[in-house]
Amino acid sequence: MAPRRLGAVALAVLAFGLLAQAPATKALDAFVRTPVPVAEKSYRSAREALRVGVRDYNAGDKEGAARALEYAAGQGHALALWKLGRMYAEGDGVPHDDLKAFEFFSRIADASPDEGGDTQNAAVTGSAFTALGSYFLDGIKGTYVRPNPERAYDMFNYAASYYGDPNAQYNLARLYLDGTGVESDARQAARWFNLAAEKGHHPAQALLGDLLVNGAGGVPQQRVKGLVWLSLARDGAQGRKDDWIVSLYEKNWAAASADDRTEAQTQLQTVGSIKRR
């Protein structure tokens, strides 16, 4: 695909650090949502409010950013809705509130276009569906959002298929691997792990590698290829949250034959040279 100029929304996506069947959005409309508050300060447009929100957030003024983003969100601006959802989900400059986050993400899903995933807001929309899938998977305690694995599957499948969201592809693969909300299918799990792994999703690389090294559920054993994926996952592991990736790599690497380890290291050198080009 030929490169194209980034519009204002795409530039704002980069500033916030967000990475990229009929639509299943309208079922969310049944929920009664809290209206997005309208900020007291007036802006000439939602786009101007978004620019102020990005500026204030990056300057460390998250309270000011939230006010500006609330104005843009009140105008239905997708990126403002997404960023507020993330802020409430993480307690980032605002009180932690999963229900508010769910409702901000739901507004994006309800307004998502039907014409295709290649739109300026595609990354934001795909991420919103993925977040909704996670909330449906576990539910939100004390609210109307109950655990619903089948609905979680719908959200992940939509974001993975329609928007190519790597986090959705990973989560969908986990559902297939564990048989949660869908019949267990290791081959489908491997397929979705592979799509996410090729986009640099390190947890997907780790679990795909483990599947290929050991073979399971009809997935052909490919020990060397599995070791390569595990090595890439280990190299990308970050902090204690990824300790399980390192442990999975060490377990499989220790059990591998000397020949398989040597071949995997040779292939990793090739992969590394391609990445540096």
List per-residue pLDDT tens for the chain, 277 residues long. Answer: 333 333 433 434 444 555 433 344 444 543 445 545 544 567 888 889 999 999 999 999 999 999 999 999 998 999 999 999 999 999 999 999 999 999 999 999 998 866 455 566 899 999 999 999 999 999 999 999 999 999 999 999 999 999 999 999 999 999 999 999 999 999 999 999 999 999 999 999 999 999 999 998 899 999 999 999 999 999 999 999 999 999 999 999 999 999 999 999 999 988 764 453 3
Per-residue confidence (pLDDT) for residue 272, from 0 to 100: 61
> What is the distance of C-alpha 206 from the center of its chain?
16
Amino acid letter for position 101 = A
| Cα–Cα distance measured from residue 84 to residue 124, given in angstroms and rounded to the nearest whole number | 12
**Do residues 212 and 223 touch, judged by C-beta distance below 8 A?**
yes
Residue type at position 100: K
Asked if 126 and 117 touch (Cβ cutoff 8 Å), the reply is yes
As a whole number of angstroms, the distance between CA 204 and CA 226 comes to: 12
Q: Is the dihedral of CA 185, 237, 122, 3 positive or negative?
A: negative
Q: How does DSSP classify residue 35?
A: P
DSSP state at residue 28: G
